[in-house]
């Protein structure tokens, strides 16, 4: 090898090259990390973070689109039953195009967690909630409800009904579903159902808050029920005489088309003169009783054998004053407070015993069939005598019934008592007799008296030699009776039919 040639030299590195390589590594790492971070920001804007529940349901790492799609379909097949105030129908989601905005719902939920803080947030659990945004076709819902309101209004017009009726089971006036629908506010009903859609209620009750006339209807109900609350107790002689019920009072309450509330006063008066009188009045009615001697009789007014009836109804027993009773009931009901009404009477009796003995234990029993009279006092016989009563063949029967000594102007007399009959066509009395004792029973027309022209009494004498209606007896019997009888004593005159 030539000596002038030298050995090849290794090139020396360029100045500063090692520093550039060292710089490239962290830049690359920063780019990678930045990409990963921003990728996470993007991803967690589209996917729910791990450890996330939404409305209690696990949605960890679920895509936003899936959750939105599930929410979109959440009303599929949904139905709600709407009832109350005359409405009764089932509405399905498809009837009114009811749906939920799933995308808005999912977006609202996912945005509640900051995706920019995902490195920290993925280490935590998240329990999310979100507001549903629903929509439906309001016009379609109106079309379902409006016909019901219109039908109710037509029914109310046809019947003149106010929408308030009496419910016997509740013992109160209530809103009637049959016609109260006419008072519904359509917008209020629709809003109530819309609220139910949002809450996913499957049962919806339309209450008074949806009524246009709620306040006035409440006032009408209060006024009508106040009459019921004032239902009085009816008594006779301090004893309960009739069970006046709320049902009956309700039948007297009148609710006008203009929602005014009042009482049918004529109906109350008619009831007092009718049903109440028929139940409580005993004057002239049939009454069955057992005499102290154990025999059972029925006393009643029998005028079937009279050419005319100059005597009228017998006088003893209860006879209520229907007019005054009605006024007291009306006054009580209008007062709004329950009270006890002692029924005003035209005549009274010793006890309340419809269909039975209501006269006192002191009375004279006149048995026409036996032709015998007995004076009882507390179950004891204090006087008795054979008698002769009116002659049936001459239509002069002694008037049966329960009478009172001295009633209607009759006056007891003793001495020379002149009994005169009605005037005949010549102007003369049909009879003119003198007796010693006169005890009037039917005004001054019929009474007990002695009979100087008759010597025997009892048996069947009355059938062929009877009186003109009076009750004849011997002098001794009449005298004893006159001494013990008192004005106002009851006289029960009876015979078998």
Question: Which residues does the annotation mark as catalytic?
Answer: 449, 470
Alpha-carbon span 363 to 344, nearest angstrom: 25
Rg for the chain, CA atoms, rounded? 51
Give the CA dihedral 168, 174, 180, 184, nearest 10 degrees.
-160
Q: Which two tokens stand for residue 387?
A: 């008698």
3-state SS of the chain is CCCCCCCCCCCCCCCCHHHHHHHHHHHHHHHHHHHHHHHHHHHHHHECCCCEEECCEECCCCEHHHHHHHHHCCCCCCEEEEEECCEEEEEEHHHCCCEECHHHHHHHHHCCCCHHHHHHHCCCCEEECCCCCEECCHHHHHHHHHHHHHHHHHHHHHHCCCCEEEECCCCEEEECCCCHHHHECHHHHHHHHHHHHHHCCCEEECCHHHECCHHHHHHHHHHHHHHHHCCCEEEECCEEEECCCHHHHHHHEEECCCCCEEECHHHHHHHHHHHHHHHHCCCCCCEEEECCCCCEEEECCCCCCCCCCCCCCCCCCCEECHHHHHHHHHHHHHHCCCCEEECCEEECCCCCCCCCCCCCCCEEEEECCCCEEEEEECCEEEEEEECECECHHHCCCCCCEEEECCHHHCCCEEEEEEEECCECCCCCECCEEEEEEEEEEECCCEEEEECCCCCCCCCCHHHHHCECCCEEECHHHHHHHHHHCCCCCEEEEECCC
């Amino acid at each position: 090898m030539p000596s002038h040639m030298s050995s090849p030299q290794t090139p020396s590195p360029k100045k500063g090259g090692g520093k550039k390589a060292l710089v490239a590594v962290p830049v690359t790492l920063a780019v990678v990390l930045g990409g990963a971070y921003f990728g996470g920001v993007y991803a967690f804007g589209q996917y729910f973070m791990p450890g996330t529940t939404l409305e209690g349901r696990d949605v960890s790492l679920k895509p936003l689109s899936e959750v939105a799609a599930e929410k979109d379909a959440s009303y599929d097949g949904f139905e709600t039953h709407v009832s109350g105030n005359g409405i009764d129908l089932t509405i399905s989601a498809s009837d009114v195009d009811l749906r939920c905005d799933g995308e808005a719902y999912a977006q609202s939920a996912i945005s509640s967690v900051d995706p920019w803080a995902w490195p920290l947030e993925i280490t935590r659990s998240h329990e999310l909630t979100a507001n549903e945004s629903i929509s439906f076709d309001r016009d379609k819902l109106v079309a379902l409800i409006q016909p019901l309101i219109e039908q109710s209004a037509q029914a109310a017009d046809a019947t003149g009904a106010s929408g308030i009726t009496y419910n016997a089971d509740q013992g109160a006036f209530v809103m009637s579903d049959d016609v109260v629908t006419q008072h519904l506010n359509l917008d209020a009903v629709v809003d109530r159902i819309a609220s139910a859609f949002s809450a996913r209620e499957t049962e919806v009750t339309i209450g008074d808050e949806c009524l246009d006339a709620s306040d006035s209807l409440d006032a009408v109900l209060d006024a009508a029920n106040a009459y019921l609350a004032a239902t009085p107790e009816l008594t006779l002689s301090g004893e309960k005489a009739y069970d006046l019920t709320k049902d009956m009072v309700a039948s007297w309450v009148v609710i006008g088309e203009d929602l005014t509330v009042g009482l049918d006063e004529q109906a109350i008066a008619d009831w007092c003169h009718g049903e109440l009188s028929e139940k409580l009045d005993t004057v002239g009615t049939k009454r069955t009783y057992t005499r102290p001697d154990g025999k059972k009789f029925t006393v009643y007014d029998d005028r079937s054998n009279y050419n005319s009836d100059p005597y009228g109804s017998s006088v003893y027993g209860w006879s209520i004053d229907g007019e005054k009773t009605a006024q007291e009931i009306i006054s009580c009901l209008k007062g709004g407070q329950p009270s006890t009404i002692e029924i005003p009477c035209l005549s009274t009796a010793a006890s309340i015993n419809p269909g039975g003995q209501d006269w006192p234990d002191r009375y004279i029993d006149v048995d026409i069939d036996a032709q015998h009279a007995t004076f009882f006092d507390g179950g004891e016989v204090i006087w008795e005598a054979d008698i002769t009563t009116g002659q049936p063949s001459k239509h002069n029967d002694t008037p049966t019934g329960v009478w009172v000594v001295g009633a209607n102007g009759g006056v007891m007399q003793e001495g020379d008592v002149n009994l005169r009959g009605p005037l005949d066509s010549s102007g003369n009395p049909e009879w003119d007799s003198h007796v010693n004792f006169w005890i009037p029973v039917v005004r001054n027309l019929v009474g007990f008296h002695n009979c100087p022209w008759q010597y025997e009494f009892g048996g069947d004498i009355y059938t062929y030699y009877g009186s003109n209606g009076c009750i004849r007896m011997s002098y001794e019997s009449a005298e004893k009776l006159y001494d013990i009888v008192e004005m106002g004593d009851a006289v029960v005159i009876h015979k078998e039919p």
